[in-house]
Amino acid sequence: MSIVYWFRKDLRLQDNEALNAAITLAHQTDLNTVFPVLAINTHAYQLLEGIRQHSLTEGVRALNKSLENNLSILAVSNNQELAEALVRACAEANSTEVLAMECFDPESVRSQDVVAEVLKTNGLTLRLVGSAYAVKPGTVRKPDGTNYRVYTPFYKSWVQLADVAQKPLPKLGTGFKKLSFSTVFPEPSKQSPIKVIAGEAFALRTFNRFSKRALLSYDEMRNRADLSGTSHLSHALAHGEIHPRTLLAQLGDSQAEEVFRKEIAWREFYADVLHHYPHTLNDYYEPRFKKLRYDTGKSAQERFEAWTKGETGYPMVDAGMRQLLAEGWMHNRVRMIVASFLVKDLHLEWTWGAAHFEAHLSDFDPASNSHGWQWTAGCGTDASPYYRIFNPILQGLKFDPNGDYVRKYVPELSHIKDGSIHEPWELFDGYLNGYPERLVDHNEERNESLARLEELKQIS
């Protein structure tokens, strides 16, 4: 007997509770062997943009290397095929159990439900252990047993419960083994605009570098788009190349470390919210906002396309959208600015923007994306009593004061050498190099947005 381990959003060996449980179980079997497998939905993979294909492929390649090339790849096109491939894996490995990390986003839950069902009908068991969080979604509760809908009280309970104890990889008897019917992981079919480096070792190096370089000034620098003041660990967290426990275990009590801990908790809060309200993946958390008047039709579509290309005429928005296309990542402050612009200046539904982010973000995470969008759109978990509308000019002047961020991504404005880059319409040479004029007037659209909010208040 041996054990089959199904890698999911946990592409790492260290601090992996579920993998450790598989190894511990293997110790109790005669062969003392684990068969690590990873399933890839080849159809879904082909639909991914280049950057997402490359980042996934690199992460899997790194995992396979750390398993000494013993990772089996199961190429499937739906959950039923995945489940059947795992049944076949159990037969070859002579295993009665598949171990895996429990996932909480709606798509992964569907997949683990189908797998559990099919395994069961074949007399086999799916055992789900741990999660990609320091506290499993669904665990943090108010004293009355209900879940939190607001971040700050969630955080106060979460921080008491957060598991920070490291789970080092135990020794494995005869090691990891590969299945005879493993296929190869697909090579990316699309180009990536940048060379992607991924994997557990890279994630640990990134965290070490961040700890030495920027952690202690994180509270002051994290909002500055022109500086590298954040960890850039979102890709690694989304793919499970590092566990939040590993990060939390190393944090002290300084103000900066506390702010970083709170950002990790935002990821956990959104996962908890999506767990309780799975429909909010694509639907409104505050249902009344469904009735807000949004623009549709040809001109709405054209404005959306200008936004996706970074051609709105607002430098901070355009720099962000072009950073996304160029790097598959965008600074958090700028994500909020571009999201606010889409919903409150262009009057488009948040779901349009979330789908574009999903296609391009190498750190795409269903909960953080849907709820990051809804928070900014005003229909999410934001507890603020007023309706936030980000001013893209003031945000630019504050968080990119010298214009370095805009100059990096918007070459048509690179001749402007200071903060006046955020208002090219005020400069005699602002449009010298073909930068597009403003698609809309922010002040007018702000008023329009507030008027539509008033309409909504009248009808709801």
Residues that bind ligand FAD (CB under 6 A): 222, 230-234, 237-238, 263-264, 266-267, 270, 332, 335-336, 339, 357, 361, 363-365, 368-369, 372-373, 376
Q: Where are the alpha helices (DSSP H) in 99-161?
A: 106-121, 151-161
Using the minimum distance from each CB to ligand FAD, give the nearer residue, 114 or 251: 251
Spell out the residues 6+ positions from residue 252 whose beta carbon is closer than 8 angstroms to its own: none
Using the minimum distance from each CB to ligand FAD, give the nearer residue, 67 or 271: 271
How is the beta sheet containing 3-7 ordered, strand by strand?
Answer: 72-76, 34-41, 3-7, 97-101, 125-129
Using the minimum distance from each CB to ligand FAD, give the nearer residue, 1 or 326: 326
- Which residue type, as a one-letter code, is found at position 73? I
Using the minimum distance from each CB to ligand FAD, give the nearer residue, 281 or 393: 281
Residue with the shortest CB distance to ligand FAD: 372
N-term to C-term CA, the chain: 61
**Measured from the CB of residue 362, what is the shortest distance to ligand FAD in angstroms?**
9
Let me know: does 7 contact 38? Beta carbons within 8 Å: yes
**Measured from the CB of residue 235, what is the shortest distance to ligand FAD in angstroms?**
8
d(CA 10, CA 161) in angstroms, rounded, equals: 21
Using the minimum distance from each CB to ligand FAD, give the nearer residue, 148 or 373: 373
**Measured from the CB of residue 372, what is the shortest distance to ligand FAD in angstroms?**
3
Using the minimum distance from each CB to ligand FAD, give the nearer residue, 111 or 376: 376
Minimal CA–CA distance to 25: which of 1, 48, 41? 1
The number of CA neighbours under 13 Å toward the Cβ of 62 is 24
Using the minimum distance from each CB to ligand FAD, give the nearer residue, 144 or 253: 253
**Measured from the CB of residue 276, what is the shortest distance to ligand FAD in angstroms?**
16
Minimal CA–CA distance to 329: which of 422, 196, 217, 213? 196
Using the minimum distance from each CB to ligand FAD, give the nearer residue, 336 or 389: 336
**Measured from the CB of residue 109, what is the shortest distance to ligand FAD in angstroms?**
18
Let me know: does 272 contact 162? Beta carbons within 8 Å: no
CA-only gyration radius of the chain, Å = 23
Dihedral in degrees, nearest 10, Cα atoms 69, 66, 116, 180? 10
Using the minimum distance from each CB to ligand FAD, give the nearer residue, 62 or 337: 337
**Measured from the CB of residue 379, what is the shortest distance to ligand FAD in angstroms?**
12
**Measured from the CB of residue 18, what is the shortest distance to ligand FAD in angstroms?**
20
Query: Two tokens at 458?
Result: 């009248």
Residue 31's CB is within 10 A of a number of other CB atoms, namely 16
**Measured from the CB of residue 367, what is the shortest distance to ligand FAD in angstroms?**
8
Please state the length of the chain. Answer: 460
Using the minimum distance from each CB to ligand FAD, give the nearer residue, 256 or 361: 361
- Which residue type, as a one-letter code, is found at position 187? E
**Measured from the CB of residue 441, what is the shortest distance to ligand FAD in angstroms?**
23
Let me know: does 413 contact 421? Beta carbons within 8 Å: yes
Using the minimum distance from each CB to ligand FAD, give the nearer residue, 238 or 406: 238
Q: Where are the alpha helices (DSSP H) in 214-340?
A: 218-221, 234-239, 244-248, 255-276, 298-309, 315-327, 332-340
d(CA 65, CA 56) in angstroms, rounded, equals: 14
Spell out the residues 6+ positions from residue 42 whose beta carbon is closer than 8 angstroms to its own: 75, 76, 77, 186
**Measured from the CB of residue 270, what is the shortest distance to ligand FAD in angstroms?**
5
Let me know: does 196 contact 55? Beta carbons within 8 Å: yes
d(CA 211, CA 282) in angstroms, rounded, equals: 35
Minimal CA–CA distance to 143: which of 130, 153, 128? 153
**Measured from the CB of residue 338, what is the shortest distance to ligand FAD in angstroms?**
8
